[in-house]
Amino acid sequence: MLSYRHAFHAGNHADVLKHFLLVELLSYLNQKDKPYWYVDTHAGAGLYQLTEGYAAKNAEFEGGIARLWKRKDLPAALARYVEVIRRFNPDGKLGFYPGSPLVAQAVMRRDDKLRLFELHPSDSKLLEANCEALGRQAQVQAGNGFNGLKSVLPPQPRRGLTLIDPPYEDKGDYRTVIKAMEEGLRRFATGTFAIWYPTLQRAESRELPEALKKLPAKGWLDVRLYVQSPSSDGFGMHGSGMFIVNPPYTLVATLNEVMPVLVDALALDGGARYTLAHHTA
Q: Please answer whether residues 276 and 255 qualify as being in contact, where contact means their C-beta atoms are separated by less than 8 angstroms.
A: yes
What is 166-185 written as a DSSP string?
----STHHHHHHHHHHHHHH
Q: Is 112 a catalytic residue?
A: no
Q: Please answer whether residues 169 and 3 qualify as being in contact, where contact means their C-beta atoms are separated by less than 8 angstroms.
A: yes
How many residues are present in the chain?
A: 281
**Given 165, 170, 233, 269, the catalytic residue:** 165
Spell out the residues 6+ positions from residue 194 whose beta carbon is closer than 8 angstroms to its own. 18, 21, 22, 25, 161, 162, 163, 164, 242, 243, 244, 245
CA distances from 87 to 11, 107, 273 (A): 15, 11, 30
Strand partners, 223: 242, 276
What are φ and ψ of residue 188, in 5° steps? -150, 70
Strand partners, 96: 49
Closest CA to 244 of 191, 188, 187, 169: 191
Instruction: Give the residue numbers marked as catalytic.
Output: 165
